[in-house]
Amino acid sequence: MSDEHRLEEKLLSQEAERRISENFDEVEQIEIDVQTDLLKVVQGQVDGVSVAGEGLVIQKDIRVQEIKLQTDGIAINPLSAIFGDIKLERPVNTVAKITMTQADMNRALSSEFVRKQMQDFDLDVDGEIVSLKPQKIEVFLPSNGKMEFRGKVLLKEKGKTRPLGFTAIARPRKGSQPAMLESFNCTEGEGVSIELVTALMHKAKELMNIPYFKWDDMVFRIKELEVEIGNLILMIEAKVKQIPSSDVVPL
């Protein structure tokens, strides 16, 4: 690769780093490598983009310890790209490895952003609708392959609402092995019926089998999930419709 070609990639990569950094509240480190040259940019083409970042924070409390990301070929608006504003002409396929610490996860779960996203869960328990409203959820990663949940919900059944505290230990799905619930214990309240626990397990299975999720201009699915002591590692496949916009400065 010629020095001139490498310089073009470096300039575009530096501008991409500046623009992407502006979309985070905090950035400890970020490196972006735009794989292209000026001729391809003029033609509206980029071979790919790789991203490596650490300590990235969005929405004030959503923190990622580490992310490694790679896109496939990108079709862009050539005029806007020359002036440092990358606009996608079609969705981009992306694979990413994301690492979150136990502290990151609990910081996110207690954030205002996530609390607003939490919805009440309606369960069909032998023909009767029982509602669960999450109040507080904490996640612990005590050993490889296991996740411990501690929480409190408001349980509404038969016209009455009561608090329910619980702890649960689960093993996420891995390869061909299905997700497993190792234990479920009530720590506050009058306990729950076996029928309610069964309905809750059916609901959890339904959520885990959702084929994909949507967030802003991105559709993604969790391909793999690995639990290490203190860390959760997610392998994600995503289709990004548009890169978040921000004020730009020409190259």
pLDDT at position 19 is 78
* Gap between the Cα atoms of 214 and 241, Å rounded: 11
Tens digit of pLDDT for each residue in 197-212? 888 888 877 777 777 7
Tens digit of pLDDT for each residue in 111-162? 988 888 777 888 989 889 999 999 999 999 998 899 999 999 999 988 899 9
Percent of the chain with pLDDT over 90: 34
Alpha-helix residue ranges (DSSP H) falling in the chain: 3-21, 38-42, 78-82, 102-109, 112-117, 194-208
* Gap between the Cα atoms of 135 and 157, Å rounded: 17
Backbone angles phi, psi at 155, to 5 degrees: -105, 120
pLDDT at position 82 is 60
| Per-residue CA distances from 139 to 57, 93, 101, 109, 214 (Å) | 19, 30, 10, 9, 23
pLDDT at position 209 is 72
pLDDT band at 251 (very low <50, low <70, confident <90, very high): very low
* Residue 107: closest CA among 156, 58, 54: 58
| Better-predicted residue by pLDDT, 5 or 196 | 196
